[in-house]
Structure 1
């Protein structure tokens, strides 16, 4: 199975209306469609751009206001996925649960009108202490016409166990939207993406926010880069990087994934890390 993926280095800048956000998102989707993309990934917290819209008091909106945009956000990306015949992982959006909790949630929109979600499982101190968010309580792996995928957001990729669970459930591609404000955070996520690709012999598609929201607390600095990361074995590039963007630039990257290569290295690669797990010594989710 072969298919094409794209990832957006989404440039955050203050806006004054939802229409401005929609126009920027549509631009990236149109751009990806020109390359024949089947899966398009946006970064974590891209919708915090909506908080820069001023409220009645002239100040930026607070995080509690972000769920008010959920219906418009879902309608926008569901429409774009149908219009362009594309699977869109529309970054993450903060939603409010029936119990009134805030959840940082990744969305997968399908060209058939489907909409599936994965709440972030591991939360950073800022998400908990400053934004009072609640963690997701389960992992889903999603069947698509191009195989099984999982969506693990930013900090999630730093926990080997959850990625091992995704692979045990059949995921061949992990989409990892992220949002990091400095190089330390960026490289934590990036190096862990490489480790998870080696450990589980999967592809990882990741991207982050770039730019700055001058009006929005905790979003005034962003350090990001998109990349398509592979296992480190002979069918793939030696550094395990199929492609990557230019750091902190507004841009799109594109790559073709071949799932048969994953099966080849799992069966007879230079190393066979997935097959060689020592489940007699440590637990395993499969």
Structure 2
């Protein structure tokens, strides 16, 4: 079975209201539809663009203002998933639960269902500057095209959590990201490659590009979308099915062959998933 996936290099630019955000999101969804996309990934913290609406005095809104846009955000993406027929990973949005802020990835199904996965590992900036809280528990999500997981940015740098979702049956991990410089970008990108090799899975990742001049900690972005594979003969030698131009405003698309994953897990040049030494280190199920 094959699935067509696309990842958006989302261009952050100042807007004057939610309508500006909605028009930009709808543009990418329509573009992906023209390519026959079935799963569409947006980046982490894409909704910080809403903070650029400002307070009327030229200053951006604080991070604590983002939860006030949650209903509009959910309504927009639910509508677009329904009209497009796609599964849409709507990047991440900051939500409030019992007075605490969580950086949360959302999966929008074509039939109107919405699932979520809060970010599990929080960076020092998220903690110290934005008072974000850690999510509890890891989930996988069943779709008509197989089982997937959503792990946000820093999460992909922890091999244990990706082992868990693979053990739970995920073949594709979608990794929305947001990094402000090359160091952060390459930490995430190299980690994504490592996870494809260790678990013989696909990873689809993308990040924000552009700048929000009046929003603290979103004044710089360094991003590139990539659709990544294990490094074995049926796949490209670099493990890259497709990637965008760094910091460009664009969409990246490729087809994932899920049957190839089963083949390399059984008969690949290396069989890293099958050959893990659970006698020396614990398996997730143990």
| C-alpha separation in 2, matches of 1:67 and 1:56 | 19
Could you say which residue in structure 2 is the equivalent of 1:50?
50
Could you say which residue in structure 1 is the equivalent of 2:61?
61
Could you say which residue in structure 1 is the equivalent of 2:14?
14
- Secondary structure of the residue aligned to 2:132 is coil
TM-superposition CA deviations, 1:193-224 (whole Å, max 9, x none): 00000000000000000000000000000000
Could you say which residue in structure 1 is the equivalent of 2:152?
153
- Secondary structure of the residue aligned to 1:209 is strand
TM-superposition CA deviations, 1:73-101 (whole Å, max 9, x none): 0000000000010000000000000x110
Kept in 1, the 8 Å contact 2:58–2:214? The answer is: no
| C-alpha separation in 2, matches of 1:18 and 1:30 | 18
- Secondary structure of the residue aligned to 2:251 is strand
Q: CA deviation at 1:284?
A: 1.2
- Secondary structure of the residue aligned to 1:166 is helix
Q: Which runs of 4+ in 1 moved over 6 A?
A: none
- Secondary structure of the residue aligned to 1:193 is helix
| C-alpha separation in 1, matches of 2:56 and 2:12 | 22
Kept in 1, the 8 Å contact 2:228–2:241? The answer is: yes
In structure 1, stretches of 5+ residues that fail to align are none
TM-superposition CA deviations, 1:10-63 (whole Å, max 9, x none): 000111110000000000000000010000000000000000002244421000
- Secondary structure of the residue aligned to 2:128 is helix
- Secondary structure of the residue aligned to 2:102 is strand
Q: CA deviation at 1:148?
A: 0.3
Q: Does 1:87 align with 2:65?
A: no
TM-score, with length taken from structure 1: 0.99
Kept in 1, the 8 Å contact 2:59–2:215? The answer is: no
Q: CA RMSD in A?
A: 0.6
| C-alpha separation in 2, matches of 1:3 and 1:283 | 32
Could you say which residue in structure 1 is the equivalent of 2:161?
162
Superposition pairs for residues 1-286 of structure 1, below 5 Å?
A: 1-97=1-97, 99-286=98-285
TM-score, with length taken from structure 2: 0.99
- Secondary structure of the residue aligned to 2:163 is helix
| C-alpha separation in 2, matches of 1:223 and 1:58 | 25
TM-superposition CA deviations, 1:121-166 (whole Å, max 9, x none): 0000000010001010110000000000000000000000000000
| C-alpha separation in 2, matches of 1:266 and 1:57 | 57
